[in-house]
Amino acid sequence: MKIAVAGMGVAGSTISSLLHDSGHDLSLFDPKSPGFYPPCGWAVNEREFCHLSQKIGLNGEDYVLSRADSIILSNSSRSIRLQSGGLCTIDKMRFLVDLADGMAISRGRLSPREYDIVFDCTGISRAYIGQPREDFRMSAVEALVAGSQKKEFVFNYYPGGHGYSWSFPLGSNTHIGSGSDRTELNSFVLSLPNKIRLTGRDIRIRPLFDEAVSGNVVAVGESAGTVSPITGEGILPSMRNAFLAAEKLERHGKEDFLKYYPRFLRESFAQYIDLFGLVKDARMGRLIRPANLMKVGTAIRDLKSFGINAGVWKILKGVI
């Protein structure tokens, strides 16, 4: 089968690695220049990251930069200290280089009609599958700041479901950022002292599972909306999505894969549909209602999968 992968971030690099030795005629495309500094929170659950990395022949521990001793979760009026369940920051840039090692990458554009399947892993741009009918994004501004803080990972949630700011140790430096649909909430990052780098981008937190296939083009990762609406974490979800897509393609063949891929996404990432509903309710001031009780449990599990251990009441105190 003739397959193209567009975008060599986490989703694209992972699925390319999985398909590289599968006998397909594989072509890879990425417009970014080598050494591009990717806007990212850099934080993952170390245990799952190491597990998934091992399945593609890499040692995840080699990429860990800082491990959380503790986690501080706060809102406008209070803060709580939580235990880490494996939260860490990784050297994402080196990880991507190693994932793509030995694979030829073109910097040009591709023509989808020349391939049996095109995996669109271009993230927020959805460069080949096209923009969705409805979307929901938050704008993030991020800074790498000289000097490392204590090994605390700090999350400050803005009222009304308008995003959060964060501060993570990143090796000998600190990564500070803010993601919100209100740009004024992000502005403090611009004035931080001792900045080494300043970057930013939009982050999609709306699941787009029903718009993940168009003709022979298939969205993977943030292109498909596999980003946690609660944490904004997309690294591990992108890897899981890539594993899902590669496995289902091999099992079902082209036609059934294209037909059923949206269903596969809904089944595997159903929690993101609930969590996006929770975020919408928070923004409309109707978070505290019976229909959301089960969704709160889903949010707790999502935070634990991110590496944050806490019970329901502690989380509610920290973010509401």
- Residues whose CB falls within 8 Å of the CB of residue 72, separated by 6 or more in sequence, listed in order: 79, 80, 81, 82, 152, 153, 154, 155
Q: Where are the domains of the chain?
A: 2-319
Q: Which of 189, 109, 188 is nearest to 144 (CA)?
A: 189
**CA atoms of 128 and 201, how far apart (whole Å):** 19
| Digitized pLDDT (tens) for each residue of the chain, 320 residues in all | 999 999 999 999 999 999 987 889 999 999 887 667 777 879 999 999 999 999 999 999 999 999 998 899 888 778 888 889 999 999 999 999 999 999 999 998 999 999 999 999 999 999 999 999 999 999 999 999 999 767 799 999 998 888 999 999 998 999 999 999 999 999 999 999 999 999 999 999 999 999 999 999 999 999 999 999 989 999 999 999 999 999 999 999 999 999 999 999 999 999 999 999 888 877 766 666 666 667 778 888 898 999 998 765 455 544 54
**CA atoms of 176 and 185, how far apart (whole Å):** 13
**CA atoms of 295 and 99, how far apart (whole Å):** 35
CA-based radius of gyration for the chain:
19
Backbone torsion region of residue 240, taken as left when φ is above 0, otherwise alpha when ψ lies between -120 and 50, otherwise beta: alpha
Instruction: Return the sign of the alpha-carbon dihedral for residues 47, 52, 58, 63.
Output: negative
Beta strand 64-67 pairing with 137-146 = unpaired
Here the tokens at position 54 are 């091992």
- The pTM assigned to this predicted structure is 0.93
Tell me how far CA of residue 54 lies from CA of 44, 99, 164, in angstroms: 15, 11, 32
∠ CA 46-202-248, nearest 5°, is: 55
Name the CATH architecture for the domain at 2-319: 3-Layer(bba) Sandwich (3.50)
